[in-house]
Chains A and B, each alone.
Chain A
Amino acid sequence: MMQKQDDGGDKKITMKINNQEYNMVIKPHWTLREVIHDKLGLTGTKEMCDKGACGSCTVIADGRPILSCMKLAIECEGQEIETVENLEVTGNPLVEAYANNHAMQCGYCTPGFVMTAKALLDRNSNPNVENIKDALEGNICRCGTYPAHIGAVLEAAKKLEGGKK
């Protein structure tokens, strides 16, 4: 159930999103996804299930992938959040690798996959197929693009590794 508007008043909060500081006044019942998508206009963080079941709203908070629809924004005070929009800005090879491998169809769930994959590559720059499946198995894609994600993540990992040399 939606909470009412008058349940505890507005809260001031500071968050770092995509390396930029945001000082915001928010309602205590707003989820992180609502703040990112509706208030800041970073619409890559999608709403699909709104129940923490599908992974479409995945963002990276303090280095860990989280479901932003299950996180209240007030819990994120002082955190560093990364959304999918940051990947092209920082030249992360995942975006291009996803396009090359046709690892999307309608594309609605894709940013969630990409962010989950990004978190995987942040902690394991040379994943094997099982590692990728372990990381992405919590994301739902109704179009069934699953097999293509493996190639996309492997391609991005290879590019990242190449960049290190």
Chain B
Amino acid sequence: MDKKKLGIMEIEPLVHDRYCQDEFSLIGKRGVSRMCGKEKAGGRAEYTRDVQLPGMLYCRILPSPYAHARIKSMSTEKAEALPGVRAVLRYDDPELADKPLFGLETKFNAGHLPSDGQAFYHGKEELAVTLEQWKQGAGRVLDGVAWWEGHPVGAAVAADTPELAEEALSLIDIEWEELPMILNPLDALKPGAPLVAAEINSKNNIIRKLKIEHGDVEKGFKEADKVIKFEGRRRPYTVADAEPMSDVVLWRGDNVEIWAHQQQAYDGKIIFGMKMGIPLNRIKLHVPYQGSQFGGGGNPMMHHTHGVHIISGLLSKRTNRPVKTFYNRRDNFYNLSQDADCHTTFKVGFKNDGTITAVKIDNICGKMGQYGIDHLEENTRIPNLLLNYLETNINVAPAYWFRCEQNHNALCLSMVFDHVAVELGMDPTLVALKNDGVEGHDMEYLSKFKRQHGFPDRDSLGEAIELGRKAIDWDKKWHEPGTKVLPNGKLHGMGFTWTHEWDDTRGTACAGVIMHCDGTVDILSQKSDDGLNAMTTHCQIVAEEMGLKLEDVNFRFFEEVGFQMMTPDGSCNLAVDAYCTRNAAREAKQKLLEYATTPIKLIDITYPPAFPDNYPDDLDVNDSVVYLKADPSINVPVAEVVKRATLNQGGTRAPLFAWNWHRQGRYGTEKGRHRLTRQAYFCEVEVDPGTGGVEVKKIVNINDVGKAISPETCEGQQYGGDYMGAGRALGEEMIYDPKTGVKLNANLIDYKVFTMRDVDTTVNLLLETGMGYGPYGLNGIGECIATVVPGVIGAAIYNAIGEWVDDHPMTPDKVLKAISKAKAKRGGLK
């Protein structure tokens, strides 16, 4: 098989996909119905929550009632005596003696590990605790100490019904030793602050320090015409995903079956196997539909990903029955993905023409937070950058990727740029264009890089801004801050922000393509369907490449067969994974054409091929029909060509199967693998000066996706992200009782997820410059919008009221205070 001839990309993470055809029949076409759509809309789609097996037991894990406490003694006798309770797993049971939550030593990571050659960016990282201690930071599967309210600790109960399991928990007698707790990262750093997790660090509450430095910021500040300082904060918010977490494990003798609500379920399987000493070929993994994930379901060190498998597994082993461990909605608020509380101090130097000369950022974050310099590094020509990052331990659950780990990065870039534009009285779009670049280099350098590596050379940001300005009527509507009062009495504001498009083309994936004897195809790979339309888009690619009808291709990702895809149905849905499906499809098509032209000779009979007088190169496939290129009227349906393949009686052909593995660099952004595409956002708000309430009237998204395989899917990510981003900007926040650390709004009534009424209009524009690193020149879109939109809303609020809020979420009380401040400054709003 000549891979070059087939146009199968060699693994070269800096090169543009040069084997991209000019015309497509399925890829990029509108009007392709969603393949999972009827199943989902008709209520037939099965989620882990829906899985019920004969004899299944229900498991509940004890959530700690305290934000920080130790179990002094625990009696489970009453719980065990309750009729219908089949097993109680205790934290001090021998099976749990060596079960830290962190186990995949070779794991990919997103910067949460110290510099082991895998860290996200090249900073100088320093752990305040040992690596071993740091790994314990997520706790053990079941522990005798709780580090946050709701921390799964003490015991897990398996019973005949959910109610019995719940009741049994209430019968567990625990004598707790309450310990002092801290919720705010700044408090955790105060001299004499109590230790929030002495088991990890017995000296202080610092987990990690990181310093990233480019150039010389002091020199940059000296070169500046003006230097400003300001502060920002992003308070913690949470995923509040649709499907409450659950899993099912059935342990039978030497074999285990797992049903996982997990984004990277295969990793969960590996960890389960490692921890339990079960060979991977003895673990059967099912991955039903996922009721949303947004990244955190991929974390291999969180309780809700592999911790629950271990608990379900041990209880199943003890009882010989399938066990479903399930969280209720409140548990989901306790333990699932969330973003850390993050305090930021900015110092920015710039010239009068808008050129930024230096940015210094000091971040202090809660446990497993994220720092905010990367986008300034990867996306601008700013030569001098300095980040000091301090990660503290506090008594809330660890933060983890929630669409996505770059939330704070995007917000920091927005704040820096919008503050500079305001200080200069400049149009913020011009400030962006002035500083567009990459890793301290200007656009000329980037153009040269693009040309060297075979990419088109287009001005992604310039094009995006032009589209956006027109779509929102920027030239007419943008105005001086705090100067426009609408006839309805509201204050009108316009905002703009930008950053690079998500280039999450990194990591590895593999997939197989198998054709059955009726000519239909299955794509084989473990991929969790979180809603990115992976089923349709990968089927579009395979059908396009093989010349098949779309309905003849299916993506069988619910059963894991050893292949796994990168961030399954997450960041790398197409940017990495589609290389595999595309390459496998091309090989499979070649095999099909060989089938069509190769006779099968047995002793007494020869089976002629469909095209006995031709070579594979004479043929092509379209609409599931193999035809002669020279005379398309001579054709044979694909099903006829392969009818003798894989039959177990009378079969004369090997299965038509091809598979492909692809690697896009290492996992983690590599220096020098420049981000080429851009995204821009415009926003229009109305602020009620009486209540501080903000109405989002319009958000315009312009995303350079390189190439849209499914435009409707891309647009779905755009408007979907708008609602989530607006929620983050204006309302979403986890509220803790400062005295006890108990969550006060851990439900979907008090935690405000935005609804259909909360954003008026979204305008979704796709740029397709072909400058992505993925196949067909595409790159990702799913993470971008919710991540960047809070920044643009912040800028629009400033434009409306003439004062920065910079404390997210920008709730009415904060906006009102800012309005008062603006009035005091200016002697009243104009």
The distance in angstroms between the C-alpha atoms of A87 and B41, with both chains bound, is 9
The distance in angstroms between the C-alpha atoms of A72 and B597, with both chains bound, is 66
B56 CB, min distance to chain A CBs, angstroms: 11
* Chain A contacts for B43, CB-based, 8 A: 42-45, 83-85, 87, 111, 114
* Chain B contacts for A47, CB-based, 8 A: 49, 244
Residue A51, interface by CB 8 Å: yes
Contact with A100, one of B33, B240, B290 (Cβ below 8 angstroms): B33
The answer to whether A105 and B42 touch across the interface, beta carbons within 8 angstroms, is no
- Tell me the count of chain B residues lying within 8 A, CB to CB, of chain A: 64
Contact with A148, one of B329, B716, B753 (Cβ below 8 angstroms): B716
A contact face: mostly helix, strand, loop, or mixed: loop
Known contacts A102-B34, A105-B720; is A110 also within 8 Å of B41 by CB? yes
* Chain A contacts for B241, CB-based, 8 A: 142
Residue A23, interface by CB 8 Å: no
> Interface digits, B7-41 against A, CB 8 Å rule (1 contact, 0 not)?
00000000000000000000000010110111111
Residue B530, interface by CB 8 Å: yes
A82 CB, min distance to chain B CBs, angstroms: 11
Known contacts A49-B747, A142-B240, A144-B719; is A3 also within 8 Å of B163 by CB? yes
Which residues from 60 to 113 on chain A have a C-beta closer than 8 Å to any C-beta of chain B? Answer: 83-85, 87-88, 94-96, 98-100, 102-111
> Interface digits, A13-51 against B, CB 8 Å rule (1 contact, 0 not)?
000000000000000010000000110011111111111
Known contacts A41-B52, A48-B329, A49-B748; is A103 also within 8 Å of B41 by CB? yes
The answer to whether B40 and A104 touch across the interface, beta carbons within 8 angstroms, is yes
Known contacts A5-B167, A139-B755, A147-B719; is A99 also within 8 Å of B34 by CB? yes
Contact with B756, one of A45, A94, A107, A149 (Cβ below 8 angstroms): A149
The distance in angstroms between the C-alpha atoms of A142 and B756, with both chains bound, is 11
Residue B353, interface by CB 8 Å: no
Which residues from 134 to 165 on chain A have a C-beta closer than 8 Å to any C-beta of chain B? Answer: 136-149
A3 CB, min distance to chain B CBs, angstroms: 7
Residue B242, interface by CB 8 Å: yes
* Chain A contacts for B239, CB-based, 8 A: 142
B533 CB, min distance to chain A CBs, angstroms: 7
The distance in angstroms between the C-alpha atoms of A3 and B167, with both chains bound, is 8
The distance in angstroms between the C-alpha atoms of A37 and B162, with both chains bound, is 13
Known contacts A137-B757, A142-B240; is A50 also within 8 Å of B40 by CB? no
* Chain B contacts for A42, CB-based, 8 A: 43
Residue A54, interface by CB 8 Å: yes
Known contacts A137-B756, A146-B723; is A48 also within 8 Å of B37 by CB? no
* Chain A contacts for B276, CB-based, 8 A: none
The distance in angstroms between the C-alpha atoms of A67 and B167, with both chains bound, is 25
The answer to whether B329 and A104 touch across the interface, beta carbons within 8 angstroms, is no
Residue B604, interface by CB 8 Å: no
* Chain B contacts for A137, CB-based, 8 A: 755-757
Which residues from 39 to 54 on chain B have a C-beta closer than 8 Å to any C-beta of chain A? Answer: 39-47, 49-50, 52
The answer to whether A51 and B749 touch across the interface, beta carbons within 8 angstroms, is yes
The answer to whether A136 and B749 touch across the interface, beta carbons within 8 angstroms, is no
The answer to whether B38 and A96 touch across the interface, beta carbons within 8 angstroms, is yes
The answer to whether A4 and B167 touch across the interface, beta carbons within 8 angstroms, is yes
Contact with A144, one of B240, B289, B713, B721 (Cβ below 8 angstroms): B721
* Chain A contacts for B748, CB-based, 8 A: 48-49, 51, 53-54, 140
Residue B164, interface by CB 8 Å: yes
Which residues from 744 to 791 on chain B have a C-beta closer than 8 Å to any C-beta of chain A? Answer: 747-749, 753-757, 759, 762, 786
* Chain B contacts for A107, CB-based, 8 A: 36, 39-41, 45, 289, 291, 531
Task: Kindly list 6 other residue pairs between chains A and B, CB separation below 8 angstroms, not including A51-B747, A88-B38, A106-B290.
Answer: A5-B167, A44-B42, A53-B749, A56-B242, A99-B38, A144-B786
B interface residues, Cβ below 8 angstroms from A: 31, 33-34, 36-47, 49-50, 52, 84, 161-164, 166-167, 239-244, 289-294, 328-329, 529-533, 712-713, 716, 719-724, 747-749, 753-757, 759, 762, 786
